[in-house]
Chain A
Amino acid sequence: MNWVADNIQSFAWFWPEALLALGSIICLLLSAFYRKNVHISFGIATVTLIAYICVGFYHLFFCDSGSSNLFVGHVKLDGLGQLLRVLFGFLGLITMHMGFVHQETRKNIHFEEIPSFLLVITLGMSMMAWANSLLMVFLAVEMVSIPSYILVGIKKSDRFSAEAGIKYLLFGAFASGVMLFGISYLYGIFGSGDFSILMSLLDSSFPMSSMGWIAMSLVCIFCGVAYKIAAFPSHMWCPDVYEAAPSPITSFLSVGPKVAGVALILRILLLWGQNENLSMDQEIGQFLQRFLIFMSAITMTVGNLGALGQVKMKRLMAYSSIAHAGYLLMGLACFSTQGFQASIIYFLIYFFMNVGCFYIIVAMENEYGSDDIQHFTIFAKHFPLVMALMTVFLFSLVGLPPFAGFIGKFYLFSVVIEQKMYGLAVIAAINTAISLFYYAKILKTAYFSGEDTDIQPQTSFSWSISLMCILMAVPTVFLLLQWKPLLTLVEKASASL
């Protein structure tokens, strides 16, 4: 009966997640049986998430968890998981706020069901970041995927949204299948799905004949996870889904699952070693590195080239998010602690700039009912200050100093150079220049054309959108002055990797 005790003890660290599950069930029941007041389920979800974030912060800063396994080894508790838990909590909260201020989403008849799904996805993403066994990997990925299908298609009367939901579902099902195929092979070869057991088996010698099978199963798993982070070869769903999904959901998908997926890949890579002394002499380690470099280079190139011709803002952001998945993979491909840290730093910064962008897209959709880039011409005249913030976010996405995106790029480039992967560095450099073109195109539309008009905006601007934009812009602008706190946080999070 030892495992019972272990499971119960695990809840000492895990009860915030249980809280999320509880909150989500309550919200779901409320939306089914008590539809009079939509604010109640939002209120409950908000309280749950705030509690989740607070506990997350408390655990992160005041409880030294070290690195320990929970639930008989299915879940691994460490700094990275703790950090991401807080990040996902914030993302869930922000998405709910965004849904609340986005008029189109608010008018949706299923509006009150959104919080419940968001809580489940938040839980799933945390599990992805915490997963320590192949079983957990699959469960967590599915836990994120299934509610995502629903949220993407939630505008069910809208043809495109429904199409996107189906498309997302079909691609997702296929990717999950491929991943499960890989997992089953890996399980068959090693006889266990537990990461700590896998690691010890990998350290000891294993038959050379199974090398190819291991490599193949890992490629399958990566392709499955690539679907979550919208990386090559599973990125094709991204533009259609991003365009048709309600903007708050798009914003959520462009950050949450991407970060969780990167964390998951990181966990799998860690099977091949834990520190500087990665066993790169192993054939599979080398194969994996080459595969990741290849994946990263293709992903960023596909994303940036795809974005060049876009005229819809959300579609453009979809391609941009593919490109950023490529950048994130750069750090992972380094196979070193510094590389992993660079990826973590990059997605923390990406969170701010991307969410900031989406707030402005939401504002634009509220104002003009569409996300056509053309609207920025008028938008810049109506709301010059908000457009200035947009400028900041876009330049930050390019990675230009003095904005925070540059710090992320700087770390990524530095680890890649340190690992002597010059080819990848050159490709990433060229990609940065390409990406400038489409981001600058938005600014060109906003500022360079059109005459001065005195048309007043139709609706007044929600103060809470402005506030959130400013909150996102503050770290984006001022991080460069001193980013040591961020570095300390990331080092703390990755200390126990």
Chain B
Amino acid sequence: MLSSHILSWMTFTPLLGAVIVLMIPKCFEKAIKIVSLITTAIPLTMAVYLFQHFDRDQVGMQFMERHQWIPSFNIQYIMGTDGISVTMLMLTALLSFLCVIASWNIGKKVKGYFFLFLLLETGMMGVFAALDLFLFYIFWEVMLLPMYFLIGIWGGARREYAAIKFFIYTLVGSVFMLLGFLAIYFWGPSPHSFDMIVLGSQGGILSQGILFGLPMSKVVFLALFFGFAIKVPMFPFHTWLPDAHVEAPTAVSVILAGVLLKMGVYGVFRICYPFFPDAAQWFAPILAILAVINILYGGLCAMNQKDIKKLVAYSSVSHMGYCLLGLAAMTFMGLEGSLFQMFTHGTSTAMLFLLVGVIYDRAHTRGVNDFGGLASAMPKYTFVAMIAFFASMGLPGLSGFISEVFVLLGSFHADAHVIGFDQAFRGQNIFIICTIFAALGVVITAAYLLWTIQRVFLGSLPEKWSTLKDINTRELITLVPLAFLAIALGIYPMPILDLFHKTLSHFSQFLTAGG
């Protein structure tokens, strides 16, 4: 019962928790928090179970569930996971649990906050577990509503603007995604289906037809990619991110950066690439260029920020660029690096946002230049922060290094498969150029992170900060597991790499053959 429906349980336990929270009178804040903690701990234990029982040698979907839902539209309730989604499910479960702990000191409208937070977790889990396009879309949208309120009610000074900007940006993308799904349904192979496994295993659907002067498959690919690119966020659709991340409360920023951004890349992995391998190859050079712009532009923006949270937000833009570059490369190394970067960035950026939250709770400012010499006032805090900063920087021995190196190696060798746009660059292999620039991004990352460390933690401590309390146990509990992961996976990444090794080697062969 449990093991055959484990994905449904993981997805809907938080929803159950949300309903229970709704029924508790709002004066019992403690009870609300404990219920939330329990209902996020259950998916986490299930994620551990998933990690142990996931068959690493199997290529296809595991822990499948399949039920008829609306037969007339051939809509089914399909849940399942493979190497691509299993790490994301684990990351979501872990971050949600830690975020409940990180939200313990929320003072305003506790009931509403935890209700929405649990609803959000259901949406996120569902996106990674759903294998039916219709179901996927519903979870994708369900996530938006709680996010809008979480930013808008509990956010910072410009929360109203940030919330609506996030909402509208994402909705624009997702409506086009819906149109794309419908086009796949009606013009895809018959029998018409929303089943992602069936559609993804055919090596290219929508091979016929012209739309707006382009082949159908490319148009639909672009429509779907547009929806995912906004979520990633890819330049030039990234402008919602700094606003949303800065204004959101700490835990929500963690979820935004740790999980929501990954959904964009996950969507490309799960839907765009397997459905339209030919369009993906056609688009790869453009994607590579945009990815490099993401890396460099995000990094340069981060360097110029005065607000630590905004700096971390822009560093996410930069780091997601590596995921996109790995995707564009379409080599085994690149894809593996991209997927691993999703996981490592999820842990390191979550740490950074938590750390910013810790200091903001104490000092009520986030200005980089307001601080200095914190290392002497808050030694424990500084120690954890160093791990987070260096993990984010990609220092060898920490997890970020491995994923970035994989991406760069993968994209350097990517010339073999890509046809099309490289003629425009006079026969130069565009991927080599892109890789060189992307490697420059590593330097930029090091620059802004080291500069921040210098300004915040080193130097002399201003008088007003001498009374700052060091990090407390609750905050340490949220940070230590992530720090542990960053170090452990930096030394020995195989436990995670193993999960998607088989799936990705199959996937990269499929992509190569498909074009």
Residues B152 and A430 in contact, CB atoms below 8 Å apart: no
B159 part of interface (Cβ distance < 8 Å): yes
Residues B152 and A414 in contact, CB atoms below 8 Å apart: no
Contact A400 to B144, CB < 8 A, known contacts A447-B149, A448-B153: yes
Residues B168 and A433 in contact, CB atoms below 8 Å apart: yes
B360 part of interface (Cβ distance < 8 Å): no
Residues B182 and A483 in contact, CB atoms below 8 Å apart: no
Residues B171 and A433 in contact, CB atoms below 8 Å apart: yes
Residues B168 and A402 in contact, CB atoms below 8 Å apart: no
Residues A444 and B182 in contact, CB atoms below 8 Å apart: no
Residues B72 and A429 in contact, CB atoms below 8 Å apart: no
Bound Cα distance A448, B164 (Å): 11
Bound Cα distance A422, B213 (Å): 13
A412 to chain B, nearest CB (A): 10
Contact of B183 among A401, A417, A443 (CB under 8 A): A417
Contact A417 to B182, CB < 8 A, known contacts A401-B138, A448-B160: yes
For A429-456 the 0/1 string (1 means CB < 8 A from B) is 1101100110011011001110000000
B197 part of interface (Cβ distance < 8 Å): no
B70 part of interface (Cβ distance < 8 Å): yes
A232 part of interface (Cβ distance < 8 Å): no
Residues B168 and A447 in contact, CB atoms below 8 Å apart: no
Residues B175 and A402 in contact, CB atoms below 8 Å apart: no
Bound Cα distance A135, B481 (Å): 77
Residues A432 and B185 in contact, CB atoms below 8 Å apart: no
B179 part of interface (Cβ distance < 8 Å): yes
> Which residues, 140 to 161 on B, are CB-close (under 8 Å) to A?
141-142, 144-145, 148-149, 152-153, 159-160
Residues A429 and B152 in contact, CB atoms below 8 Å apart: no
Interface size on B, residues (CB 8 A): 33
SS of A interface (majority): helix
Bound Cα distance A430, B226 (Å): 13
Residues A440 and B144 in contact, CB atoms below 8 Å apart: no
Residues A400 and B145 in contact, CB atoms below 8 Å apart: yes
Neighbouring B residues of A471 by C-beta, 8 Å: none
A484 part of interface (Cβ distance < 8 Å): yes
Contact of B164 among A406, A417, A437 (CB under 8 A): A437
- Contact size class for A? 20 to 34
Bound Cα distance A484, B69 (Å): 9
A480 part of interface (Cβ distance < 8 Å): yes
> Which residues, 118 to 158 on B, are CB-close (under 8 Å) to A?
137-138, 141-142, 144-145, 148-149, 152-153
Neighbouring B residues of A430 by C-beta, 8 Å: 172, 175
Residues A402 and B142 in contact, CB atoms below 8 Å apart: yes
Q: Which residue of A lies closest to B111 (CB)?
A: A384
A413 part of interface (Cβ distance < 8 Å): yes
Residues B167 and A436 in contact, CB atoms below 8 Å apart: yes
A109 to chain B, nearest CB (A): 44
A147 to chain B, nearest CB (A): 39
Contact A432 to B175, CB < 8 A, known contacts A417-B183, A437-B164, A447-B153: yes
Neighbouring A residues of B183 by C-beta, 8 Å: 417
Contact A448 to B172, CB < 8 A, known contacts A417-B182, A483-B70: no
Q: Which residue of B lies closest to A418 (CB)?
A: B186
A424 to chain B, nearest CB (A): 11
B163 part of interface (Cβ distance < 8 Å): yes
Listed by A's residue number, 11 A-B pairs whose Cβ atoms lie within 8 Å are A401-B137, A402-B138, A406-B138, A414-B186, A417-B179, A418-B182, A422-B179, A426-B179, A444-B160, A447-B153, A448-B152
B-to-A contact residues, CB < 8 Å: 69-73, 137-138, 141-142, 144-145, 148-149, 152-153, 159-160, 163-164, 167-168, 171-172, 175-176, 178-179, 182-183, 185-186, 211-212
Interface pairs A-B: 9 shortest CB-CB: A429-B175, A417-B182, A401-B138, A433-B172, A401-B141, A448-B152, A418-B186, A448-B160, A433-B171
A-to-B contact residues, CB < 8 Å: 395, 400-402, 406, 410, 413-414, 417-418, 422, 425-426, 429-430, 432-433, 436-437, 440-441, 443-444, 447-449, 480, 482-484, 487
